[in-house]
Structure formats: structure tokens, C-alpha cells
Amino acid sequence: MITLKEALKLSKEELNKFKEDLQAKIAANPELNAYIDVNNVGEGIPIAIKDNIQVKDWSVTSGSNILQGYIAPYNATVIEKMLNAGLSPFGRTNMDEFAMGSTTESSFYGKTLNPINAECVPGGSSGGSAAAVGAGLAIAALGSDTGGSIRQPAAFCGIVGMKPTYGRVSRYGLGAYASSLDQIGPMTQNVEDAAILYDIISGHDEKDSTSADMNDKVSDKLNPERKLRIAVLPKYIENASEDIKDAYAKAIEALKACGHEIVEHELMDAKFDISAYYITATAEATTNLARYDGIRYGNRVEGKNLEDTFIQTRSNGFGDEVKRRILLGNFVLSSGYYEAYYVKAQKTRHIIKDEYEKIFEDVDLILSPVAPTVANKFGELSNPMEMYLSDIYTISVNLAGLPALALPISKNADGMPVGLQLIAKAYNEQTLFDGAMSLEKEIAYKA
């Protein structure tokens, strides 16, 4: 598969031939279920799009039954930016319903398979985008990250996935899960491609009230030779599997070989991250999903009266995981529990943010696991709590609004990819990409 950087240099004729070949390759691999549809709408470089990002005149459903029949009336800001840069939305990729999941098993369209091992999950919720890039069925893709939904599937499928600083990429046109946590980001074959795609989709947007008034670019200033001070977290990874610990040690040695300074730091127990995240995310999800009532758009199940129509539509339209999170969100926001749960979660979120800021007074980057294990097999995380705990290393980044990038480090004895992430200070994407590119080059060199 050619890279995004290479694709930008293709002639019109070469690009059209490439797209024909790509469509044929996708058609020949339907069992992966990475794509829901392939709907090329332009002449630009084909980029796969997660099914919760609006593309005008496409069916966009967030992987849910309740949005069947909905046709997007406008383009998300990231799509407009892509089109202006010569990129074209090419197909919509499978995802966990309303981005709620870590395995892409909760999709209305069925599960996506991991391209490395079909018995394993591709991660989630951007599993379709990760699988498409990992299988060579996409040059690059867009995903969304609420608590690790770009970085975790990227790690599971052996690709690069980047979550920008909150506010650096417009959320206008993104189907909301948890508005204070969601971010759109690139999923690519390498770090440089991620920087190129990030530059294209980032920047200030008046349509998004949380958009940062910044338009800095990074790809033309990439400097993998830059020497950085990087924090490692020895106690934080104690509960990770041996595969993750081995990759962590390998990454530390690679960073040292590049001339980076390694220092030890600690973060508080990640169980507090889990609690704060799921209270915050489900509370915001409850509010955001209230609009899906069968009246304004999407599927409708007619009831005996208006109230019954609401009930029947939502009961039939939402899957089990979405219903579970709506119930939890309503509980933590309800009278008598709001102070005990939601307010306390916001105080904890502030502590998490402060803790990161204190570490970044001393270092440029933090090296962290993405998940406690490599990709698990289908059905292994049948208990919802086990699935929630698989996000243990990613969610604090969203709570603090920081940028982070996951990249492949090694493979375990079974050939499954092992990915780690680098985390940077807010709005310091340049340092993030510089450090990631340095690590990527050293790992590739050693391999």
C-alpha cells in the first residue's frame, strides 16, 4: 500500500488506477467487514471515514439501527478541509454503536475482524478504520477518540493512531458521544502520514465553540533528531501483560539509543481514571443521545401515542451497550446522586489534569501503554466491566484534553502487534510527532 505522502505525488491517471485497484481489493475481502459502504464522492486521494462523521449525501449511522435511513445533509468540517486539500472521503468504516465499545462488536452491521488474526478483535470503537488501514484497504482513515478509540484499535492492528489536543480538530459534524472528550484524529501507516493528515484536518473552526484559535502546522517541521526528555512509568504498568512490559522495555532502550533522556515519574492509580471517565462519558452520552427519538430523523417505531413511540423507537433502535450507558448516565445525573458521583468525577478529572501538568513541568513526553494486553479474542470480554478496564491506559489523556499518539513497537510470540503511546503537553503536537517519528525510525532500524 502506498503512503499518503506518496499518494499526494500521483498524477490524476495514476490515482484513478489506484482507486480502481483499491475498490477491487476491498470487494475481494468482505469477511473483514472493515467497510460498511464504499462511496467515493470525489477525485482526490481516498481516505476511509468512520461512520459517525458527516459526509454530505452519505448514509451516516454511527453503527446504529436507530439512524438507519438518515442521509447527511452537510459535510463535517474535517471533510471540507480534506476536500480542499485534494483528499476524498472514500468509504464509511464500521464502528461500535455510537462509539461505545472497545472491540467493534456492538455495531449494527456486525463485528469487524482483526486483519492480523481473524479470531481477534480489531479494537474499538474505530475498529473499522484501524482494520482497513492495517489490512491495506485504505491509505489512511479518520477515527474518533473519546477514551482511546483511535489509539487502542491502532495498537491492536499494528498501525499509527493519533488523538489531537482537545479543540485542535473541529468536532462540527461528528456524532457526539461525550462532547467534552471527543476528538477526531488520523489513523495511518506511519507517523509522517499521521502528521500530514493531522495538518489537513486541524485548525480553528467558528462552527465549533470549543475550537482552539490555532492553525499551527507540524509536518513541514518534523525533526526526529531532536533530543527530548521523556518520562516512563514503572509502577503504572505493573498490571500490564508481559507482552506490554517487554515492548515497554524495548521502547525505552530505543529512545535511549536515539539520545533521549529517560526519567521516571508516577501517575496515580488508574482506577480513579476509570471511575471519573465512565461517570463523565455516560452522563454526557445520556444528554447527547436524547435527540434520537424517531421524530426528527432516523428509524421510527410507531407506538400507541407519542410517549409510546419514543419508548418503542429507542428500545428497538439502541443496542445493549448503548442502553447500558444511557441508564448509567441517567443514574449519575439523577437527584440525590449528582453530587455523590458526577460532581466528584469532575473534581477527580481536575486532579488528573493537574497531575499531568506537574509531570510536564519536568519532561517533554510521557511513554505509556495503550492497553493492558494485545488484542483479545472475540468473546473474551463478555463482562462489560472487563471491557471498560481495557481502556485503563488511554482515558486519562481524554480527561486531561492532551494529545497522544499510538504506534507499533513489536509483535508478541503469536505475531500480534504490540503498540505503545507517547503523550504530550496540550497543544504541543510538534513535540509529539518529533518524538514518535524518532522512536518509529529506531524501532524500524532495529527490526
Residues with a known catalytic role: 50, 125, 149
Give Cα 417 to chain centroid, integer Å.
17
Using CA atoms, how far apart are residues 242 and 351, in angstroms rounded to an integer? Answer: 30
Q: 305 Cβ partners below 8 Å, 6+ apart? A: none
163: β partners: 404
> Which three cell numbers mark 439?
522512536
- Please name the residue that has the C-alpha cell 493531522: 198
Residue 123's region, left for phi above 0, alpha for psi from -120 to 50, else beta, is left
Degrees (nearest 5) of the Cα angle 190, 191, 197?
A: 95
Alpha carbon distances (Å) from 289 to 50, 69, 74? 18, 17, 20
